[in-house]
Structure 1
């Protein structure tokens, strides 16, 4: 037993005492931490992930005050899905610059807006978004602007956006993306009952 301890170290000694065998390499393997989340966040993810690989057409339901930039056909595509991340490009006509990224962080869900140029490079205004502050609901989650976003908005002269709250609603027949702040509401609703042909690969991504 003394020689077993010398040969394998403390980890090996514990295994030897238990009547098991292991190499030092095996003893030092660290398993990845599990994805940590709560029931309402899991359910919200699962409702969206059920649409993975499908695309749906939408329409602007609220744009107050009127703001340009959302003319053309609106299509969301639940393109990439894992246990902890969802990538959902939002196509506006021939503009394929936007991708929503939802990530389980261990303390909630993060929403980021990945904006790219046509050559794949990052837009000046990108990766802004918010983080859940509570459990939310199985079909509704809210994302108040996070600190990174607030500092980015200030740096770009967009401090009015510091009070942004993004919301997502996922119901059997409709998915809603909503932005609110004082004096501003924008909402797009997508029909989940009828998938449409898949849009092009979003800028900056590869199949």
Structure 2
């Protein structure tokens, strides 16, 4: 009986040690992989939600996300905005996702037409909360501190269905763009400003 108890104790001990050495499931890595699968493709999108009075987009523009530059630890996604009145494009924005050992980082690279840094650029934050393989939220510490509630960005991806980028206040979307991943564009957009 003592022999069986000793064997059971040893097996339990080995089992606990093996479990402790197994890294936890990292949803942020799965999410990063879901984004990486889109590399080399561009997709059309549109504005689906904006706060009252917001004039950045009218909701009628063609929007394009291009999964352009990809490595094992970083993805650069230019965001192109069609300017209807001028029959031109705003190619000033690039979303940058960087994978760290324990989280993701989202930065917004904004450039002027001549390629220089915009007066406001490289703002963003780190992934916040548990997240899933299809949804991650990134906290803006500055905006959260100012408002007293969570502020930041929510990104969702359903391969073959949609890629969604937006801002959140508390638990709710405040601004949102949806891209149709079922319709890759035959013609890729040119490089964003400053990334030629």
Q: Would the TM-score normalized by the shorter structure come out above 0.5?
A: yes
Cα RMSD after superposing both structures: 2.4
Deviations 1:114-173 (A, max 9, x none): 000000000111101111123310010000104xxx2xx7xxxxx66x953101000020
Partner of 2:182: 193
- The 2-side partners of 1:127 and 1:77 are apart by 18
Q: CA deviation at 1:193?
A: 0.3
Q: 2:194 aligns with which of 200, 204, 207?
A: 204
Deviations 1:82-126 (A, max 9, x none): 111000011111100000000012231000000000000001111
Q: Show structure 2 runs of 5+ residues with no match.
A: 1-22, 83-88
Q: Give the SS at the match of 1:56.
A: strand
Deviations 1:49-75 (A, max 9, x none): 111010000011111224112242100
- The 1-side partners of 2:95 and 2:25 are apart by 21
Greater Cα offset, 170-179 or 63-72: 63-72
- The 2-side partners of 1:165 and 1:65 are apart by 18
Does residue 125 (structure 1) correspond to residue 120 (structure 2)? The answer is yes
Q: 2:28 aligns with which of 41, 46, 49?
A: 41
- 1:23-34 matched pairs, under 5 angstroms: none
Partner of 1:142: 137
Q: Which has the higher strand share?
A: 2
Q: Give the SS at the match of 1:130.
A: strand
The runs of 4+ residues in structure 1 deviating greater than 4 Å are none
Q: Show structure 1 runs of 5+ residues with no match.
A: 1-35, 154-158
Structure 2 CA distance for partners of 1:81 and 1:92, relative to 1, 3 Å: same
Does residue 175 (structure 1) correspond to residue 163 (structure 2)? The answer is yes
Count of aligned pairs between the two proteins: 161
- The 1-side partners of 2:24 and 2:96 are apart by 17
Q: Give the SS at the match of 1:110.
A: strand
Q: CA deviation at 1:81?
A: 0.8
Greater Cα offset, 103-112 or 174-183: 174-183
